[in-house]
Amino acid sequence: MKKLLGIVILSLISILLISCGEKKSQIKLEKVLLFGDSLMSGYGLPEKDHLSVILEKSLKSEGYETQVFNGSVSGNTSLDGLNRIEDELLDESYDLIIIGLGANDMLRRINPNQTKQNLDKIINIILDNNIKVILAGMVASPTNGLSYKKEFDKIYPDLSKKFEIELIPFLLKGVALNPNFNQDDGLHPNEKGVLIIAETIKKSIFNFL
């Protein structure tokens, strides 16, 4: 009886493992687009240290044959992203787009409601094309005022909840304000900072695989 029960349990475990493997294999992750600003574009760094290159290597080390495309433009605001997202989707058929916009909106003190509307429209366009989305969040500096910070910081969790998409609460977690992980300007990640950001993004990707 115990032997029979053991066989049944092993059979159930095997079925579960096979089912999980099938589910994972059905999720395509061949082409990923980083759609952001200078924090994602590789600003100030040689191409070998660009986030797209580092993230692609990291994913391949996990067994994924993934191409990561750099669709980020230094200086872009959320409105700039909205103005170019449709053209970006004409070039490739992406499986996943990671949005990393809003930092320049914050630096220019653009109304958080406008930033939220722009990101809302970008997400809608991407989802309408049956592409998965990860939203990389930012947080406002207290120097912008507590009222502004409160409204800005709500943008990303609100949109994540509305669209039921994966959220990275803060793209620069563990990197921001740390001189060891930033370039001399104190704003843009250096090669060490990029490694941390790539790991943050990879963990987020694995959350929905």
Catalytic-labelled residue, pool 87, 128, 184, 185: 185
Catalytic-labelled residue, pool 50, 52, 78, 188: 188
Catalytic-labelled residue, pool 38, 41, 160, 204: 38
Q: Are 45 and 195 in contact (CB under 8 A)?
A: no
Amino acid, res. 43: Y
Residue 190 vs residues 77, 79, 95: alpha-carbon distances, Å: 22, 26, 28
* 185 catalytic per annotation: yes
* 38 catalytic per annotation: yes
Catalytic annotation, residues: 38, 185, 188
